[in-house]
Amino acid sequence: MDPSLTAFETLNAIQKQILELKKEKTAIILGHNYQRKEVQEISDFLGDSYGLSVQASKTDAKIIVFCGVDFMAESAKILNPQKIVLHPNLKAKCPMAAMVDVRSLKELKAAHPGAPVVSYVNTSADVKAESDICCTSANAVKIVQSLPNKKIIFVPDTNLGLYVQRFVKDKEIILWPGYCPTHVNIKLEDLKALKRKHPEAEILVHPECTPDVVDFADFAFSTEGIIKHVVSSPKKEFIIGTEANMLHRLRKEAPGKILYGVPNATCPNMREISLEDVRDSLVKMQHKIELPPDIIKRAKIPLERMIAAGR
């Protein structure tokens, strides 16, 4: 590629079309760190679930195009009920978020009266509406630690709940049997084999990984935490135990580092969104996130508490 080309000139025709449409319609494109490389390239802001929620809560844009999975676009709508939130491809759904529903959560609450519900942001809007506070992987420990209660209901990710439990030995965390199909696919044997091959490499994983994987890793962070660590660490080599598309942003922001991906770490749901979907969403103003006003009102409370807690 000609190094004299500007960033805009290196984009393909659809990407340029998207940038023009975005300007014309005063839209902002928020993209999760697991998006395809070409979608990352046209995003105004890339981040983890926490960072994207913060951006969604403070944008002046009239339209938010959310390149991520369903619960992320829903959160943007809950935080901005007056704005148009477009989700470019409705097939981009997080299977873990679908693992807990309101009826089961109400049953769990009835079985543990008085225990507050901390719901991972990877939940539907109606589950959030039944929760006391939301969290992301970036602040789950901090949020659980901040609660005065001894007993806490944590839904839906068992592995994140077990990760939090390591830091709050004085509390009893009531877990729910949800999990991330992508992160449970990251296997200890694969990490061990990579470590044998690259003994100098530091292992970074997402806390949605299973406890044996978290134990073997040097650190567990949210996706943004992994990026910050790689950029600021004096170390040179890293094994990245999370969705493989993270490597695009990491290679761009930490060009001097040597990065090794792990096998089978792909989230097909996050990869559903194509450039054509993003373009069509702006041309046809599709697919608008619509939620019942009552759900928005109730779900906004735990989401705003999550943002206020910080990272």
Interface positions with ligand SF4 (CB under 6 A): 69, 94-96, 122, 180-183, 208, 243, 267, 269-270
- Beta carbons of 240 and 253 less than 8 angstroms apart: no
Least distance CB 73 / ligand SF4 (angstroms): 12
Per partner kind, with CB cut-offs from 5 to 8 A, the member of ligand 13P, ligand SF4, none near residue 59 is none
Measured from the CB atom, the residue of 115 and 135 that comes closer to ligand 13P is: 135
**Size of the chain, expressed as the number of residues it contains:** 311
Least distance CB 219 / ligand 13P (angstroms): 13
- Give the phi and the psi of residue 223 in degrees, each rounded to 5: -60, -40
Least distance CB 220 / ligand 13P (angstroms): 10
Measured from the CB atom, the residue of 181 and 280 that comes closer to ligand 13P is: 181
Per partner kind, with CB cut-offs from 5 to 8 A, the member of ligand 13P, ligand SF4, none near residue 95 is ligand SF4
- Beta carbons of 119 and 46 less than 8 angstroms apart: no
Dump the DSSP string for 104-119: HHHHHHHHSTTPPEEE
Measured from the CB atom, the residue of 115 and 306 that comes closer to ligand 13P is: 306
Least distance CB 223 / ligand 13P (angstroms): 4
Measured from the CB atom, the residue of 116 and 241 that comes closer to ligand SF4 is: 241
Per partner kind, with CB cut-offs from 5 to 8 A, the member of ligand 13P, ligand SF4, none near residue 48 is ligand 13P
Measured from the CB atom, the residue of 34 and 238 that comes closer to ligand SF4 is: 34
Per partner kind, with CB cut-offs from 5 to 8 A, the member of ligand SF4, ligand 13P, none near residue 134 is none
Least distance CB 230 / ligand SF4 (angstroms): 19
Measured from the CB atom, the residue of 17 and 274 that comes closer to ligand SF4 is: 274
Q: Which residues contact 243 (CB under 8 A, 6 or more apart)?
A: 33, 34, 182, 223, 265, 266, 267, 270
Dump the DSSP string for 141-169: HHHHHH---SEEEEESBHHHHHHHHTT-T
Residues that bind ligand 13P (CB under 6 A): 33, 48-49, 122, 136-137, 180, 206, 208, 222-223
Least distance CB 120 / ligand 13P (angstroms): 9
- Beta carbons of 241 and 212 less than 8 angstroms apart: no
Interaxial angle between packed helices 293-309 and 70-79, expressed in degrees from 0 to 180 and rounded to the nearest 10? 90
Of 29, 62, 64, nearest to 47 by C-alpha is: 29
Cα–Cα distance for residue pair 176/167, rounded to 1 Å: 18
Per partner kind, with CB cut-offs from 5 to 8 A, the member of ligand 13P, ligand SF4, none near residue 202 is none
Q: How many C-beta atoms surround the C-beta of residue 85 within 10 A?
A: 25
